[in-house]
Structure 1
């Protein structure tokens, strides 16, 4: 390897501390964590709510309670996941206020 190629490669190597200013690092939320948390909360809340509703006196007359449990759990999970995404977007917008 010639000296010009070696000097060119060494000039491309830059320290991260020289490029990144810690005062300008943006603290954006991790959307995946928000969505997973919303989904888990939705599943737990949906199952608890649907099993409670199925076990009430009016719920015992249902012909197929499994269908109601499934649909209600899916609906509650969808709503809580969307709410978690909304909270993530709000947190992301709040992280940009100081700029």
Structure 2
């Protein structure tokens, strides 16, 4: 068994970055909460709609508002994450990285 090692030091740039998935998730949750507040904050669900002449239940109103509020919440918090990422990109640090590569050749164990 022979072993060879490559060892070199490189430089790299490191910066912080926001977790976009968490921002999107929080934006969706905030969208649901806003839709919930709008659904129960106004008592318009018992009235007949002037355009369709239909009466919508509270669940239907909540669903319609979720269709609008969730994408808006995700988009707004996504934009906030982009702005935060833009701010963090100015604070880039240069670091030294120890890059080591070890190759183990075990040809003699396979019968070669």
TM-score by length of 2: 0.63
In structure 1, the gaps of 5 or more residues are none
Structure 1 position 88 matched with structure 2 position 81: yes
Higher helix fraction (1 or 2): 1
Structure 1, 60-69 or 37-46: larger mean CA deviation: 60-69
Q: Return the index of the structure with the highest Cα Rg.
A: 2
- Higher RCO (CA-CA < 8 Å; seq separation 6+): 2
The alignment's C-alpha RMSD in Å is 2.3
1:60 paired residue among 41, 46, 52 = 46
Report the Cα distance in structure 1 between the residues aligned to 2:70 and 2:21, rounded to whole angstroms: 15
TM-score by length of 1: 0.70
CA displacement, residues 35-80 of structure 1 (integer Å, 9 cap, x when unaligned):
0111111111211211222xx2x43114122322211122111101
Say whether the 8 Å CA contact 1:38–1:77 is kept in structure 2.
yes
Q: After the TM superposition, which parts of structure 1 deviate over 4 Å for at least 4 consecutive aligned residues?
A: 18-21
Higher strand fraction (1 or 2): 2
